[in-house]
Amino acid sequence: MIEKLLTQTIVRATAKLYGREVANELVQVQKTRPEFEGDFTVVVFPLLRLSHKSPEQTAEELGDFLVEHLVEVEAFNVIKGFLNLVIADAYWLDFFETAAGQAHFGFSEPGDSDPVVVEFSSPNTNKPLHLGHVRNILLGWSVSEILKSAGRKVVKVNLVNDRGIHICKSMLAWQKWGEGKTPEKAGMKGDKLVGDFYVKFDKEYKKEIETLIQQGLSKEEAAQQAPLLLEAKQMLRGWEEGDENVRKLWADMNGWVYDGFDVTYKRMGIEFDKTYYESDTYLLGKAIVEEGLEKGVFFKKEDGSVWCDLSDEGLDEKLLLRADGTSVYMTQDLGTAQLRYDDYHPSELVYVVGNEQNYHFDVLKLVLKKTGRLWAENIRHLSYGMVELPHGRMKSREGTVVDADDLMDEMFETARKTTEELGKFDDFSPEESKQLYHILSQGALKYFILKVDPKKNMTFNPEESIDFNGHTGPFIQYTHARIKSVLRKAAAAGIEIREVDKTAFSTEPKEKDLLRLLHEFPQILLQAAENMSPAMIANFVYELAREFNQFYHELPIAKEPDTQKRNFRLGLSAFVGTVIRSSMGLLGIQVPDRM
For residues 269-295, give the mean pLDDT. Answer: 95
pLDDT band at 499 (very low <50, low <70, confident <90, very high): confident
pLDDT band at 400 (very low <50, low <70, confident <90, very high): low
Residue 391 has pLDDT above 90, yes or no: no
For residue 456, what pLDDT is reported? 94
For residues 2-28, give the mean pLDDT. Answer: 94
Residue 394 has pLDDT above 60, yes or no: no
Q: Which CATH architecture has domain 2-87?
A: 2-Layer Sandwich (3.30)
Sign of CA dihedral 592, 152, 270, 198: negative
Mean pLDDT, all residues of the chain: 93
For residues 28-45, give the mean pLDDT. Answer: 94
pLDDT band at 292 (very low <50, low <70, confident <90, very high): very high
Q: Looking at residue 429, what DSSP letter applies?
A: -
Task: Please state, in angstroms and as integers, the Cα–Cα distance from residue 269 to each residue in 100, 272, 416, 571, following that order.
Answer: 28, 10, 20, 31
Region of poorest pLDDT, from 150-164, 319-333, 433-447: 319-333
Residue 324 has pLDDT above 90, yes or no: no
pLDDT band at 425 (very low <50, low <70, confident <90, very high): low
**Cβ atoms of 252 and 180 closer than 8 Å:** no
pLDDT digits (tens, 9 = 90+) for 209-244: 999 999 999 999 999 999 999 999 999 999 989 999
pLDDT digits (tens, 9 = 90+) for 501-513: 776 678 899 999 9
What is the DSSP secondary-structure string of 474-502?
HHHHHHHHHHHHHHHHHHHTT-------G
SS3 category, 174: helix
Using CB atoms within 10 A of its CB, is residue 56 exposed (0-12), middle (13-18) or buried (19+)?
Answer: middle
Neighbours of 215 (CB within 10 A): 8
pLDDT digits (tens, 9 = 90+) for 428-469: 888 999 999 999 999 999 999 999 999 999 998 888 888 888
For residue 504, what pLDDT is reported? 66
Residue 286 has pLDDT above 60, yes or no: yes
Domain residue limits, the chain: 2-87, 163-272, 410-586
For residue 460, what pLDDT is reported? 87
| CATH placement of domain 410-586 | 1.10.730.10
Q: How far apart are CA 59 and CA 82, in angstroms?
A: 7
For residues 78-93, give the mean pLDDT. Answer: 94
